[in-house]
Chain A
Amino acid sequence: MAADKTNIVENNELPVAMIDVATSFADWLIILPTTIALMGAALLIMLRFNKAIQAGLAILIVIGIIILEIRLFLNVMEFGTQSMTMGKWLPPFGISFTVDVISIGFALAGAIVTLAVLIYAQADISSREVKYGFHSLVLLLLAGVTGAFMTGDLFNLYVWFEVMLIASFGLIIMGGRKIQLDGAIKYGFLNFLATTFFLISLGLIYGLFGTLNMADISQVSAQAPIGPLTAIGALLLLAFGMKGAAFPVNAWLPASYHTPHPAVSALFGGLLTKVGAYALLRSLLLIMPSARDFLDPVITFLAIATLILAPLGALAQTNLRRAIGFLLIGGVGSVLVGLGVPTIRGVAGASIYIFHSMLTISALYLMAGLIERIMGTQDTRKMGGLYSASSWLSILFLVLVFAVAGLPPFLGFWPKLLLIEASLSQGDVWLVVALVLNSLLTTIAGTRLWAHIFWRAGPIGENSEQQNKKLKPLTLREKYLCVTPTTILVLFIVFFGLKPAMIFDAGRMAAYGLLDKSEYVEVTGLADPTKEKVE
């Protein structure tokens, strides 16, 4: 909500710059999820020798965050975009947290994924890793992700990116196996480089506009000279494309995401690349649409290349989690399609796709963890015969494959439909071809994984019709802690696939929020025509 300016004492001819009233309780709701996650992380570090209460406390904190975010989501759906400015300075001086549908929708999905991962992780990590601060790093990651989704200031976004990065560094090497060090080197260097590119563009933005407040920049970006603006837009596309693992800067993802614990892979797959995709939508659609228009052919090309090359990579893989990594990259291509056709339908499609991908990819990685646990290997050539051991897992996996490929009636179908409609209405036939090809190739890659892992009786070259005897059945504890959260995520995907009306409404509102900046600017309190622009 805009700061209440009625109580502010006018100071001669100086423009109003301070908030003199206390922040209302409703406004606190905007900052609480991030704050609670940060303070929870700090609390868990202090209690790190008390291993027994770590997991319970972390799960309670995340449940609390989910409840607050549901409340905030309902508020935003009812009353529209909300904003809160910290530190008494009015924007553009104070840092605002501005929450619209897209922010809170993604934050909520992220918190749900984190809860599922936390429960799953109880059977996945050792008690030594609990002492090393696994739970507090997860909460720190959640704080970074939530802050990145909600902040209304570009430099603040950079800070949240770094919070996420340092937490993910800690998580990716947790366990300390050699392969993890190898993956962490590539992950670390390339992601640090991506955030540095983002920092470079921030310096240029500050030089060009003299402000870093998103709403403030969006008001003046249309009048800026197109040369520097396009350079900044291209730098942002590179930085966030690298974060989101779009072609051709995606190589770090399949090199690292299969090395940590499956629970950590699921957390990364569900949260980290999605923040990059979100930042692309936010910066190039809301903040500087004229730079996007100039970069349109580049974005279209990148979308097509990512859509087609990623599932081909998945087809060539024999490592289960690396194959899933490539499927994840293909999803980033779909988001780029939405960026390439900035209509209500296109942007709604991209937003819903990110939401879908958060749930689906996390569930797929959790599933991969279960399969590796039973098979004792990551190599799909050595797998087989899981269907007779656990038909329930085979159903879950098949649902996830169909969802990620975009087949009805699962959640993945609807955003693809919106994206194809949007591309057709814009006359971008090649985008439609790429989207359909992506679905086809993803179906082939995914169902082949399913056939190899579940359908055939044993590993490759073994023609026995006997059941695979090398399987290690799940213990009861693993069934409760690992299969339950995976099943719940899959149920979400099925539920939203069958009842897409709510998702469509939210997606359309998210797209309006990104394409029409007036509401976003207004709630930060910058659109007041009587207030002159402060330099």
Chain B
Amino acid sequence: MEIALAVLIGMFFTVSIYLLLSRAIIRMLLGIAILGNGVNLLIFTAGRLTKEIPPIIPMGQETLIEPFANPLPQALILTAIVIGFALFTFLLVLGYRAYQELDADDTDTMRLAEPERAPRPPLSY
């Protein structure tokens, strides 16, 4: 099962890197979203796959009884999802605003901050 998930994570990463290498902002956004999901799956797999038994101490016991699901990766993933969602939303709005203001979805045409034909360095000292 771990191997299957590892292959799946690899596919997620491949697709997201392919999309991130694109010049179109909207494709890069999709790449970021897929990368985030790939990372969450990675944390989930790295926390070891176990039976889906909630980690609750039974009545009359003092410790957990194996097997139980590891709660920590789930907590980590939940945090990562929330944070990733917030930042992704921001980037989405930023991309839309850039499309409105700069009339560009292609990063090659976004050359305001770094002019395409940069002035020659000053020769005098």
Contact = CB atoms under 8 A, between A and B. Distances in A.
Nearest to A259: B113
A173 B121 CA distance: 28
A159 B79 contact: yes
Interface string B70-108: 001100100110011011001100110110011000010
A269 to B, nearest CB: 16
A192 interface: yes
A192 B46 contact: no
A188 B111 CA distance: 16
Contacts of B98: 181-182, 185
A149 interface: no
A207 B41 CA distance: 12
A181 B94 contact: yes
Interface in A289-334: 315-318
A206 B87 CA distance: 24
B24 to A, nearest CB: 12
Choose among A185, A207, A258, A317 the residue with the greatest number of B CB atoms under 10 Å from its CB: A185
Interface string A112-145: 0000000000000000000000000000000000
Contacts of B36: 196
Contact of A315 (B45, B79, B113, B121): B121
Interface string A270-284: 000000000000000
Nearest to B121: A316
A185 B25 contact: yes
A184 B94 contact: yes
A318 B121 contact: yes
A162 B90 contact: no
Interface string A189-211: 10011001001101110110000
A259 B84 CA distance: 25
B46 A206 contact: yes
Contacts of A380: 122
Given A317-B121, A451-B125, A460-B124, A192 B113 contact: no
A255 to B, nearest CB: 5
Contact of B32 (A162, A165, A192, A255): A192
Interface string B16-48: 000010000100100010011001001101111
Given A203-B42, A318-B122, A193 B20 contact: yes
A12 interface: yes
B112 A178 contact: yes
Interface string A434-462: 00000000000000100110001000100
Contacts of B125: 448, 451
A502 B72 CA distance: 43
Nearest to A180: B113
A159 B87 CA distance: 12
Given A188-B94, A315-B121, A196 B35 contact: yes
A74 B28 CA distance: 48
Contact of A206 (B25, B73, B119, B124): B73
B87 A189 contact: no
Nearest to B63: A14
Given A184-B94, A185-B107, A460 B46 contact: no
A258 B118 CA distance: 15
B62 interface: yes
B123 to A, nearest CB: 9
Nearest to A452: B122
Interface in A155-195: 155, 159, 162, 165-166, 169, 173, 178-179, 181-186, 188-189, 192-193
A159 B36 CA distance: 15
B116 interface: no
Most B Cβ at <10 Å: residue of A159, A186, A203, A448: A203
B110 interface: yes
B83 A162 contact: yes
Contacts of B94: 169, 173, 181, 184-185, 188
A192 B79 CA distance: 15
Contacts of B97: 181
Interface of B: 20, 25, 28, 32, 35-36, 39, 42-43, 45-48, 62-63, 72-73, 76, 79-80, 83-84, 86-87, 90-91, 94-95, 97-98, 101-102, 107, 110-114, 118-119, 121-122, 124-125
Interface of A: 11-12, 14, 155, 159, 162, 165-166, 169, 173, 178-179, 181-186, 188-189, 192-193, 196, 199-200, 202-204, 206-207, 254-256, 258-259, 315-318, 379-381, 448, 451-452, 456, 460
10 contacts: A11-B62, A162-B83, A169-B94, A185-B94, A200-B39, A202-B76, A204-B42, A204-B46, A206-B43, A317-B121
